[in-house]
Structure 1
Amino acid sequence: MSVVRYRKLPVEVDTIQWTGTNEHEVQEFTGGASRFYALDDADRENSDDPEATATVYDRLHSTWVLVYTGQHIVRGVKGEFYPIAEDVLGETYERVTDAGGPDDRQAYDGELAMYRELVRTLRAVARPDEADMNEVRRLLHHHAADDAAARAENTQGDSK
């Protein structure tokens, strides 16, 4: 059997970060003390890893999972809960704003105009005769100039 590659579907999940002191908030998020609790010293000594500070019940896999301070508790697509390290969360998900889009990327002035020019370019490429190719070259040159100007303007706005 050969290896098959899959891409994760774009889904939205809710998370709460375990700070080591917000047990009540995390319990409200997960459904109570029967689904999440902080480990006391005795629990930590008897666990698989004494560095763990809490545990969350993953009902999808019918098991308790150790949680470390700083990890986020994710409510998965099936209602299951599992911990994820902050760096892995950042590599796997992007934060969603109230508007439903990513909030870590901002459009800069002129970006919409550049996309319109690119659409025109693609339409021209669909009919590649010499006149159209000259138009493609003109549009690409215009796009490159707009892109450079918009990025410079965006960089100046960031430094203010």
Structure 2
Amino acid sequence: MARYRKKPVEIEAVQWWVNGDHPEDGHPEHEGRVVRYFRHPDPEYAGDKLHEPCSRIWHVHGWIDTLEGGHTVCPGDWIVTGVQGERYPVKPDIFAATYEAVTD
């Protein structure tokens, strides 16, 4: 099997904790443009229920539309803007293993 290395590219990213953290989302008391409020009608996603992967209540999560469809954004996830302007969430451990700060 052939092996490949990821090309070095620079991306923009911001760590998301609460509504309004992404610079394009506007005021935290309004619906974000990039990371929106998490909404789901099923009782298993009620505000006081825990999201098992991050052990936080669903009410503090966000939602982002990506090229692959919508994704839940957990507090602490990084919102990456890719090379073609696409946005997607990245878990903190994956972000730390994949990206490093760019210094001038």
TM over 0.5, shorter chain: yes
Matches within 5 A, 1:110-125: none
Q: Which residue of 2 aligns with 1:64?
A: 70
Q: Structure 1 stretches (4+) deviating beyond 4 angstroms?
A: 40-44
Count of residue pairs the alignment pairs up:
88
Contact 1:57 1:64 in 2 (8 A): yes
Gaps of 5+ in 1: 100-160
Q: Which has the higher helix share?
A: 1
RMSD of the alignment, in Å? 2.8
CA distance in structure 2 between the partners assigned to 1:41 and 1:78 by the alignment: 29
Q: Which has the higher strand share?
A: 2
Aligned AA (2:8): P
Q: Which residue of 2 aligns with 1:6?
A: 4
TM-aligned CA deviation for residue 6 of structure 1? 1.2
Gaps of 5+ in 2: 26-30, 52-57
CA distance in structure 2 between the partners assigned to 1:4 and 1:81 by the alignment: 29
Tell me which structure has the larger Cα radius of gyration.
1
Q: Which residue of 1 aligns with 2:36?
A: 37
Contact 2:24 2:34 in 1 (8 A): no
CA distance in structure 2 between the partners assigned to 1:27 and 1:95 by the alignment: 18
CA distance in structure 2 between the partners assigned to 1:4 and 1:45 by the alignment: 43
Work out the percentage of aligned pairs sharing the same amino acid.
32
